[in-house]
Chains A and B, each alone.
Chain A
Amino acid sequence: MEAEAETCHPRPRRSLALSLWTAMMVVALILGNALLAKPSLADEIMTPRKQVPSAFSGWLDEDVGPFPGVVAPEGTYEGKDVEQPIEFPHDLHTATNKINCLYCHTYARRSAVAGIPPTSKCMGCHSIIATDRPRIKQLTEYWDKGQSPPWKKVHDLPDYVRFTHERHLKKFLFDNPDMTVERVDEVCALCHGDVTKMTVAKKQKPLTMGFCTRCHQANGGTFDCQKCHK
């Protein structure tokens, strides 16, 4: 009889339990949404993971690159020797004679490609300077024939990549308050290696997509695929 009486005991109210259960579920949903929400693949591709604001980059030791306002991309590459028609000494022009990179590669600051200077630019100096040297005689031969030396391309990007020199120079040099145009060789050195120590230019940085994206990550560049792939 006692057991029967127990079973007949009035049950706790259904509605209260139900509302409690719903409230718990709502809380769980909110927490679950907030905890488990992951950025989508597109978000991950688009947003750079580590952005270094250039104003603060000088304050932190690990962010100091070769010059203020940039984190240098890591990576080296053993490029092959390139046989140029005339063995052009970069070190003599830049390190010894202190000629600015932008004097000869003048298109770098206003177009996508840095360009090779026309022979007339060479002859602007070399019709007077060092005319007795064998290489200059070689150059003068080309000049007299009305030809330009068939220079070989050293840094060649694939057809599907778009790279503009002007925008990179604008960011790292002209918009950078800590830099002056005289120090442009440090900006060039980010991707081309230290040309002031080379005779004939050689590829010293890998220039792969990983190399580009590492620098874009560190310096807050774009991560939109279509900006660089055409």
Chain B
Amino acid sequence: MSLVRNFIEDWSRYRRSINEGGFHEYEHMWGMVIDLDKCTGCNACSVACYAENNLAVVGEEKFESGQGMHWLRVERYWDEPNIGNERVRDTQEHGGSFMPMMCQQCNSATCEPVCPVAAAYHTPDGLNAQIYNRCVGSRYCANNCPYRLRYFNFYSYYEDSWPSPLDMQLNPDITVRDKGVMEKCTFCVQRIRSAKNTAKMENREVADGDFQTACQQTCPTTAIVFGDLLDHDSEVHKLWHKFQTKLGTTKQKKDNPELRGYRLYEQLNTEPSVTYLERVRDV
């Protein structure tokens, strides 16, 4: 009988994973909403990320050869008709747009299955974790990431990135990564951890608004909203529902142009946890 029961359980799990995108076994599911209409491209989030996560400053030369260590980068795009039209190119209102890009914390991530030592794995929190001391630096994960959001330590940046008094600013809650280690945005896992720790000590669950990520905290226009998607009272859950972003699809089907939510490269079936809200144009 146990054989049949196992089979039925496996089968129902498989069916559920198809219908719900496999998100039912999480304790939490940390997600994010980024309103591109509010984003002014000020790069404050990127700076905050550098300060919070001990990111190395690599210098101009290495940055040009694509070895920048920015976990959060602000990408700039221009709409097609305006290319070459110099007069209007540099304003956001005329076809320009900014897009803060951090790790999308994919729920069926492409980086995880290729890791030969299981340093990249999925946590019960719905996070795409990277265990630094387990990483051997094969760089498969970075090559397999469609968003190009994993960064590799090609040098021992800790030697000269923080000269003597500056090393006092390093965050003790996160490792200073050595040469040969892959790293990426963690949704500020050290803040999640400490919030959960406090909640456990007080014998309660983590509530919405207990903590913020560094980028969310710094954003002057509150374009970034972070929270638990499984918590139905959280702001991020309400926003996902307001803009009808659905999990478990490869394309958001929307008739109303006011439903602006979309996820990056959904057609690749990576199931990102970050929703972007499209920029509203006057014209």
Residues on A lying within 8 angstroms of B by beta carbon are 30-31, 33-35, 37, 41-42, 45-46, 158-160, 162, 164, 166-167, 170, 224-227, 229-230
Contact = CB atoms under 8 A, between A and B. Distances in A.
Contacts of B189: 226, 230
Nearest to B118: A41
25 contacts: A30-B4, A30-B7, A33-B7, A34-B3, A34-B4, A34-B10, A35-B3, A37-B10, A160-B133, A160-B175, A162-B173, A162-B193, A166-B197, A167-B197, A167-B200, A224-B123, A224-B124, A225-B131, A225-B134, A226-B123, A226-B127, A226-B131, A227-B193, A229-B133, A229-B134
Contacts of B4: 30, 34
A98 B49 CA distance: 48
Contacts of B123: 224-226
Nearest to A41: B118
Contacts of A225: 121, 123, 129, 131, 134
Contacts of B78: none
B211 interface: no
Contacts of B133: 158, 160, 229
B6 interface: yes
B150 to A, nearest CB: 16
Q: Which 4 A-B pairs have the closest CB atoms?
A: A34-B3, A226-B129, A160-B133, A34-B6
B190 interface: yes
Given A42-B121, A162-B173, A230-B175, A30 B3 contact: yes
B105 to A, nearest CB: 12
A59 to B, nearest CB: 26
A229 B122 contact: no
Contact of A229 (B3, B6, B7, B132): B132
Given A33-B7, A159-B175, 6 more contacts: A37-B6, A41-B118, A225-B134, A229-B132, A230-B173, A230-B193
Contacts of A160: 132-133, 175
A227 B131 CA distance: 10
B201 interface: yes
A33 B131 contact: no
Contacts of B136: none
A221 to B, nearest CB: 13
Contacts of A158: 133
A31 B2 CA distance: 11
Given A34-B6, A34-B7, A224-B124, A159 B176 contact: yes
Interface string B172-209: 01111000000000000110010001001100000000
A167 to B, nearest CB: 7
A159 B6 CA distance: 42
Nearest to A171: B200
Nearest to B27: A224
Given A30-B7, A224-B124, A225-B134, A164 B174 contact: no
Contacts of A230: 173-175, 189-190, 193
